[in-house]
Structures are given as C-alpha cells and as structure tokens.
Amino acid sequence: MKEFFLRVLSIASVITVAWTACQPRKAVGTTVHEEPDYQDSTQWYVTDKRAAADVFYILSTETGDYKQPDGKTCHYADTYSDSLRAPLYAEMHGVDSLVSGRLNFYAPYYRQCSLQSFESDSLKDARMLLPLGDVRRAFRYYLQHLNGHRPFILAGYSQGAFIMMELLKEMDEETYQRMIAAYAIGIAVRDSHPHIVAAKRADDTGVTICYNSVRDTTCTLPGWEKSRLAINPVNWRTDSTTALLITEPSPLLPVAEQQKDTMTIRLDTAAGLLIVEGFTAQDYVLPLIGKEGNYHSREIWLYRDYLRENIALRAAAFLEHCAK
C-alpha cells in the first residue's frame, strides 16, 4: 500500500481521477461545494508522532474540471466527495511518507481550484480566493486547536505554495517567531515582506526555501519565469555551484523497476531556476499547462531525501536555539 501512494505522488498521475463525475454532498449554487468544517477530523490528514515540532502542508493541484449531475462544470474540489478526496489523500500521504521524517504532519483538505484555472492569470487570480479562504481558516484552527504552541514547518507545493505565501505574509509576529522555515516548492516568489527571508544555507531558520526545476531557462511555465528567491535543494547553496543528484526519476513506476538517473543540479542565479541535466523520465509533463523540459511535477520526488534531511536539520537547529 505504501508503494502505491508513493507512486501516485505526481499531479499528472492523479489528475484523471478528478475528471470523473461526482455527487456533491451539498452544493452552494452549482459550482461551489460546502466549505470544509475543520472541527471535523475527516477534513484533515494528520500523523501525530508525539514530536516537538510539526509540518503544516498545503497540497498541490490534484483536481480537474468535472461535470456535476446538473450538467454544469465545477472548478473546485468537493472535500466531502470520496472520488475527489482520493487523489488529495494520496498526495498528502505520499508527502508525509517522503519528507516529514519524525515530525508531526498536518494537512487540510480544501476546495482547491482545478488545473484549468492555471491556464491564465486572470482565472487563477479569481479562483484562488476560495481555496485561500479555506486554508486560511484551516491554519487558524490548527494554531488554536492542534498545534499546542509547538514550532512548525510551513510547506506548500504548487497551488499550495501560492496559498502558503499568503499565510506567511498574514502571519502575526508571535506565530512567525515559532515558524522554523517555509518551503515554497514549485512557484516563483516575487513579493517582498518582512516574513519572506531568503534561505542562504542548509540550517538557517525563519527563512523561505524556493526552487523550480527546468532543463533550461526556456522551459518555464507562464508566471514562473523568475523568482526573487531560489536555492539549490541538493547542496543548499544560492550560487551556481553544481551538485550531483542520483535518484530514480519517476514516482509512477516501482522504484525497483527503475534505473537511477545521475543528474547535475545547478542554480541559474539570474533566472532563479534550477537547471537539471541528466533527467531521463518521459512521464512528467503536466496536462494542459505542462511543457516539455519543465519538471514541475517532480519538485518533491527528485529531492525527497534532501528535503527530509533538511527539514530535520532546520527543526533541530530551531529547537536547539530555543533550548538555550
């Protein structure tokens, strides 16, 4: 079962699940479903490891447009629908298994907008308001009822990273002081804010980690062209020093059936992009918005071991500082 969830940790692998029709639990109008009740434990994925620190994770886009029983198209996930929850659960379970290590893991279900919403900036900006509202309420509930005043890692991937950055900017100072680090995976960060501090090394805290992987600088997705923040997640440097990465290229195949790629990872400091050479998989391109040579769907999988080690390192550094 664990192998199954690790294999589906990819937007492209699960997007077809969300294209099937589903029965809404209680629709508001015809395009928006009932908002998640975060007092309801079914609206959370939680792994309580009795750790001294947490990971609060906001998942990526696992939903596509789908038809409702009335024939109208819905652009948002229904967090009470089993068919739409399945890929959301798979990603949360996969990320927990791959990177959280010994830390507690909290991830809310939310009415994420569909992959089609990212076909234009205007659609994205309009539709992101609903998922942002859900996760904002979930994060508030987490802090008040689940966190127990522990230090925490804030992490988001793709759509989840866009939302995460808004939470970071809205965070009050007392909460920010308990944040170990923020991982904005697979987006471009352009905003300036006192809470957005670029990571400079492997163990600094209170910082934001950001990276995007491409074959070359022509392979960016619209809106991802240049990031003000960027770091190499293999050697944790912000210069162009090359790092060697040896790992299986695809989460869609059993690890035992793959040969490991030997890749070189270099940060293009001018573009704020990771340049990846030696990647061989052919199953990575996202539907609708993807581009050959853009490795957006692999941003966690490729660097999973380094992310897990780094999350543990930053948490240990933070806890050690607090103990002094």
Do 135 and 108 form a contact (C-beta atoms < 8 A)? yes
pTM of the model: 0.92
- Residue 19 pLDDT: 35
* Per-domain residue ranges of the chain: 2-214+299-323
- Residue 123 pLDDT: 87
SS3 127: helix
SS3 192: coil
10 Å Cβ neighbour count for 89? 17
- Residue 158 pLDDT: 95
- Give dist(CA 322, CA 56) in Å, integer: 20
Going by the DSSP 8-state scheme, the letter that residue 221 receives in this structure is P
SS3 2: helix
pLDDT tops 60 at residue 186 = yes
Q: Under the phi-then-psi rule, with left for phi > 0, alpha for psi from -120 to 50, and beta for the rest, what region is 236? A: left
Q: Using the structure block, give the residue that is written with the tokens 């009795």.
A: 50
Q: What is the mean pLDDT of residues 66-70?
A: 85
- Give dist(CA 186, CA 290) in Å, integer: 13
Q: Looking at domain 2-214+299-323, which of 1.10.8, 3.40.50, 1.10.3470, 3.30.70 is its CATH number?
A: 3.40.50
Do 150 and 178 form a contact (C-beta atoms < 8 A)? yes
pLDDT confidence band for 117 (50 / 70 / 90): confident
Do 152 and 55 form a contact (C-beta atoms < 8 A)? yes
Q: What is the secondary structure of 299-324 as a DSSP string?
A: TTTTTHHHHHHHHHHHHHHHHHHHH-
Do 227 and 212 form a contact (C-beta atoms < 8 A)? yes
- Give dist(CA 299, CA 277) in Å, integer: 14
Q: What CA–CA distances, in Å, run from 247 to 156, 259, 278, 302?
A: 23, 8, 11, 7
Best CA proximity match to 229, nearest among 297, 163, 183, 176: 183
Best CA proximity match to 274, nearest among 309, 304, 299: 299
- Give dist(CA 274, CA 277) in Å, integer: 10
Do 68 and 74 form a contact (C-beta atoms < 8 A)? yes
**pLDDT tens-place string over residues 40-59:** 999 999 999 999 999 999 99
Q: Residue 76's beta-bridge partner residues?
A: 113
SS3 77: coil
- Give dist(CA 258, CA 82) in Å, integer: 32
**pLDDT tens-place string over residues 137-165:** 999 999 999 999 999 999 999 999 999 99
